[in-house]
Amino acid sequence: MAFVAGYNGEIKLDNAVGGALTSYKAYARSVSTNLPINLGDTTVFGDTQNTRLPLLKDFNFSVEFIPDSAGVLSAVLNSHVQSSASISFEIDPEGTAVGSQKITGECYLESLTPGATVDGLATLTASYQGTGATTLGTN
């Protein structure tokens, strides 16, 4: 089994609402994705085990960023905060080499959480909620 290092990962977001898909790899420390599927309980009287039916699919992700002193990242995230339009995204957990995994779709910024520690860097964690279909594919 081959394993892939995470340091080649890539995160792309609209550079402003309705803007071009732009790489923010230089500011990102980590990205976490979640693709839950709602399951409806179809268990009825007389069943001896639970039964379920897959219903709606969902998607959300969060990115831990290191903010830049020039304010480039803050300006983009601020445009996401101010907007009511969806934001395009592309997540490449393995990097952008041909055949590597890619996740694309539309999302909304759900929360923005600044953080800092005495012995570490300041961070901004942006949490996004997907809207519509999310595509799992390859580069």
> What does the pLDDT read at residue 28?
94
91: exposed, middle or buried (C-beta count within 10 Å: 0-12, 13-18, 19+)? buried
> What does the pLDDT read at residue 70?
86
How far apart CA 89 and CA 128 sit, in angstroms, is: 10
> What does the pLDDT read at residue 125?
95
> What does the pLDDT read at residue 83?
84
> What pTM, to 2 d.p., does this model score?
0.87
> What does the pLDDT read at residue 72?
86
Give CATH for domain 6-138: 2.30.110.20
HSE toward the beta carbon, residue 47, CA cutoff 13 A: 9
Residue by residue, pLDDT tens for the chain (139 residues) are: 567 777 889 999 998 766 789 999 999 999 999 999 999 999 999 999 999 999 999 999 999 999 988 888 888 998 888 888 899 999 999 888 899 899 999 999 999 999 998 998 999 999 999 999 999 999 8
How far apart CA 9 and CA 93 sit, in angstroms, is: 4
Q: Are 122 and 37 in contact (CB under 8 A)?
A: no
Tokens for 19?
A: 């803007």
How far apart CA 126 and CA 111 sit, in angstroms, is: 6
